[in-house]
Amino acid sequence: MSEGFTQRVPRKFLGKYRPKIDGPEKASGKAQYADDLTIKMRFPDLLYAKVLHSPYPHARIKGFDLSKAKALPGVAAIMSFKDPEFASLKLTNAGWTDCVDTVPWDRMMFQFRDRRVLGEYACWVGDEMGFAVAAESEEIADEALKLIVIDWEILPFVLDPIAAMKPEAPLVHQDLCTTNILSPDPTGGEDVFEDRGDVDADFGKAEVVVEGTSIHHNATQNSMDNWCCLVDWESDQLTVWSNTYAADQLRMHIHEMLGLPLHKIRAIASYVGGQFGRGDTGDQPFFLFTALLARKTGRPVKFRHTRRESFLNSRQPAIYTCKAGAKRDGTITSMYFKSIGNVGAYADLSMFALKFVPKELAEMVLAHIPNLRMESYGVYTNGLPGCMMRGVGNSQFNLIFGHMIDLLAEKLDMDPIDLCVKNFAHEWESLPSKSLDSVLHEGARRIGWKEKRHLPGKGETFEGVKKRGVGFSCHPAWHAEWQEKRRGQVQVAMTLNPDCTVLLNAASIEIGGGSNTCNVLGCAEALSFLGIGVEDIHWSSIVDTNDGLKDCVQTDSAVSYLQSEVMMHSARELKEKLREIAARQLKLHPDQIDFSDGRIVVPAMPELAMTVKELLQKGDMAPVTVNKSMAPDVTLTGIPFFANFAEVEVDTSTGKVTVLKLVVINDCGTVMYASGAEGQQIGGQCMGMGEALTEEIIYDRATGIPLNFNWIDYTIPTMADMPDIDPVLMEVWKGVGEYGACGIGEGTVTCTPRAILNAIYNAIGVRVNDIPIKPEKIIKALGKD
């Protein structure tokens, strides 16, 4: 099926098709996740925590009676929002950082502090609030919550963001805000956060003007590994096992909120069963109430979400409108994007998606559009909080971006591929972008763009009612530039044992993306002068803040190359140390010594036949250790692009859309691990197709209650639903450093919905722009309802 991928620079270990490093451990069921590491057998004294989930979309606790709940046998502690431990805590949010740096409370990226660790207010159905219980079993803890007698003040609620913007709308945070519209913040900027040239004047003189709308709903991450933590707080030492993906940040979160010094907090994490952006950066209040229950009871306390409770946040939903002006020759002269984001009950990182990322895109892809305005409003509602999900803000923006391309191209009677190549490139490069050009033409070839594309709705009809079409969408990997500019220190510790085996500590929590495989391969590659193989390198899935390294957080899939890049430097330093050791042993100058494939090479002594291992066995046999901490270089490299092409079949009698084929093309800079990268490309289509066609959180509008917080009614595509997928890896662009790679995991999802939507338009000649595209929307669009 696949043509496979050939490396630009041949390498010994990296960039190959090969099994995952953790394959045997995971395939045999031996891999241990947070829930496994914290079973009661390992903590016989364990208690289980549960927290009240609000039954109302908007309410306040006026009064309560705990006596019945406290009397339940097996209940160890009940804490309430009235307890001084909670009443004294600072207001917080669940997304302090941009996931790159560890930050304290006062430097949180978006300064919306609207969450209480346990509050008296309920702001959505499911809000964790009011009371937390520790008991001998989860069942007892649940029962105790039911026995708490609560006197509720039920407040009016609002679910629709447009309604929530109106002055008469109920206030989601009546104690904190005077309007549901988020105020401009220092990071996101003003409501109009980008305004260059003169958009209005250009619309007046542009030869072609088009307008479009797109609506992205609240799909949710649905990591299979439900959030889980266990906190043990003995005397002044707190240890937390969890499936966070940012251990160092978790340590800082606890330090800042609970006041323990950093050396008294130990955060341990292992494999995580999928992250996808859930919980934003993980500064979740449940870590704190679990910790306070552990302190109160003096016993280890475990908290784990049920599947229903794991519907904790969603992709930041956004309604985008755009107006674009162009010349007859296809030169885009103006674009005006406006978005209204439903941030749900808590702001967290919403403005990351709504302002920060589009602002980046203004420079990354729209740099050559002279007149550009971007405007955005985040709006509180009494629904599921918006959050990051596999690419913060990208999917939402791409849904309108790809729409405008298709609209403009149609009006200009141009191939949309040509329109893209003509207009889009990074600010540091001139048009056309070689990366974009390569990605789009390769995609076109793989899907059969020229042969299959036809006038909208004018293609062949199959079985009397079925129409087929093709579409695509493209996007820049904007974070590739951002990583280089913004990533802080990336830390790796490498130890060479006297038997020439290696202990690698490239701290990063493996969430599935395969960065651990990349790291081990990268280590072998960097140390190839030692003649070692992958089997000679020890690595661990356990990340422990007591190791003294900041874990490199799995965002932008950047860990796949960032730590390998550092290892190139570690290897150089290690080589220097080995030279000195060899010089002492051989009574030579270090400059006279080199190494090749595990052997010592001294040009002046061609007869010398000594391996590095033999050398290391001669001296005091102390391991040779290199600790490296460095920030990535800053070089103006521009960015690579990626694209998705889709072929669909629409049954015009039922409205059912069947995706026949997906092609996903990524310019990776350097492919670090081909099988893993293709796995990401293929896997991303599952999530992207789900978001486009089936996945949707549905509320009962009368009560504000979400109806489908389960996997029967929230429909994730299964093996039977997925079409053939053609993963295409390319190396056109190159970033900075030895590898100059770019993470691709998040981006594989970004363009899928819009590619499918444009294909649907090509098939039936009618546009549907609010996802998910369920059959009833097609039927309605066709005027058959």
Partner 1 sequence: MPAKETEVTYRAMDADTLSASQYRTIRIRVNDVWHDFALGADLSASSTLSFVLREKLGFTGLKVSCDEGACGACTVIKDGKAVLSCMVLAVECDGHDIQTIEGLPKDDPVVEAFAEQSEPGYGTALQCGYCTPGFVMTARALLNENPAPTLTEVKDALAGNICRCGCYAGIAQAVLRASAKIAETAKTAVARSGV
Which residues of this protein are in contact with partner 1, per CB under 8 A? 1-5, 17-20, 22-33, 35-36, 39-41, 222-226, 271-274, 276, 306-307, 511-514, 674-676, 678-687, 710-712, 716-722, 725-727
Strand extents, DSSP E, 250-362: 265-269, 301-304, 314-315, 318-326, 332-344
Pairing type for strands 47-53 and 301-304 reads parallel
Nearer to partner 1, 689 or 757 (CB): 689
Output the smallest distance, CB 510 to partner 1, in A.
8
Among the listed residues 494, 567, 509, 569, the one whose alpha carbon sits nearest the alpha carbon of residue 541: 509
Nearer to partner 1, 92 or 685 (CB): 685
Nearer to partner 1, 226 or 313 (CB): 226
Answer for the pair 391, 307: CB distance below 8 angstroms, yes or no.
no
Cα 509 from Cα 272, distance rounded (Å): 7
Nearer to partner 1, 546 or 710 (CB): 710
Cα 666 from Cα 58, distance rounded (Å): 44
Output the smallest distance, CB 227 to partner 1, in A.
12
Output the smallest distance, CB 495 to partner 1, in A.
27
How many Cα atoms are found within 13 Å in the side-chain-facing hemisphere of 93? 28
Output the smallest distance, CB 147 to partner 1, in A.
19
Output the smallest distance, CB 334 to partner 1, in A.
38
Among the listed residues 366, 372, 251, 289, the one whose alpha carbon sits nearest the alpha carbon of residue 80: 289
Nearer to partner 1, 4 or 156 (CB): 4
Output the smallest distance, CB 515 to partner 1, in A.
11
Nearer to partner 1, 678 or 738 (CB): 678
User: Coil, strand, or helix at residue 356?
Assistant: helix
CA torsion angle for 683, 684, 690, 695 (degrees, to 10)? 110
Count the neighbouring beta carbons within 10 Å of the beta carbon of residue 596.
Answer: 12
Answer for the pair 377, 340: CB distance below 8 angstroms, yes or no.
yes
CA torsion angle for 435, 439, 441, 442 (degrees, to 10)? 130
Nearer to partner 1, 117 or 730 (CB): 730
560 membership: H or E segment, kind and range: helix 559-586
Among the listed residues 141, 126, 130, 118, the one whose alpha carbon sits nearest the alpha carbon of residue 291: 118
Output the smallest distance, CB 747 to partner 1, in A.
14
Answer for the pair 301, 38: CB distance below 8 angstroms, yes or no.
no
Cα 551 from Cα 545, distance rounded (Å): 8
Output the smallest distance, CB 537 to partner 1, in A.
18
Output the smallest distance, CB 115 to partner 1, in A.
26
Nearer to partner 1, 37 or 436 (CB): 37
Nearer to partner 1, 223 or 750 (CB): 223
Q: What is the largest CA-CA distance in the chain?
A: 90
Output the smallest distance, CB 19 to partner 1, in A.
5
Cα 719 from Cα 610, distance rounded (Å): 54
Nearer to partner 1, 231 or 509 (CB): 509
Output the smallest distance, CB 21 to partner 1, in A.
10
565 membership: H or E segment, kind and range: helix 559-586
Nearer to partner 1, 25 or 547 (CB): 25
User: Coil, strand, or helix at residue 282?
Assistant: coil
